[in-house]
Amino acid sequence: GPGGVVQLVVNGTAPALAGVPEWGVAVQSAGIPVEWFPTREFFPGMAQVILVSDGIIAKRPNVVRGVVRGTLKALAEIIADPAAATDAYIAAVPQNADKKEQMAKVIAQYTKLVYAGQSKLGVMNSEQFAKLQDFYLKEQIIRRSTPIQELYTNEFVN
């Protein structure tokens, strides 16, 4: 699990890790120097996505649109002002007030390493998606490919 991965790096058993910013910040908090690399430089993965069935898209498009737009608005605010986002997080989750500095570092890393570089916030990149599917197929994580355009829509982002 995450704690074990972090501990392997902290105790020197593992020289590196690939994971979420929280893990890197945890390693740094233990006094270990960290060199950060955006995963997208090595692997065409995707940060987070909103998954919705075709049935819900057809039946409740306004709900889907509201969730997507609300999520993207919040994400844009986090990217624009990570310090304010940290303050908002601590206000919403006051039991983590003692971890404010660590949360600020995590949010800053997400804005730099995970969410940066999108041509338009939230728009799916079909080339990246195709590379990811090719990898999953090659590694036998999936059994067959699907036409990329059947797997996503940017309808609610635009």
18 φ, ψ to 5°? Answer: -115, 120
pLDDT at 52: 93
CA-closest candidate to residue 29, choices 102, 96, 111: 102
pLDDT at 38: 87
pLDDT at 6: 94
Structure tokens at 148: 């990329």
How far is Cα 70 from Cα 91, in angstroms, rounded to an integer?
A: 19
Each residue of 108-128: b (16+ CB within 10 Å) or e?
A: bbbbebbbeeeeeebebbeee
Q: Do 108 and 31 touch, CB atoms closer than 8 A? A: no
Chunk the chain into consecutive blocks of 10 residues (it has 158) and report each block's average pLDDT, rounded to whole numbers: 90 92 94 90 81 95 96 94 96 95 94 86 89 94 94 89
pLDDT at 124: 87
39 φ, ψ to 5°? Answer: -55, -35
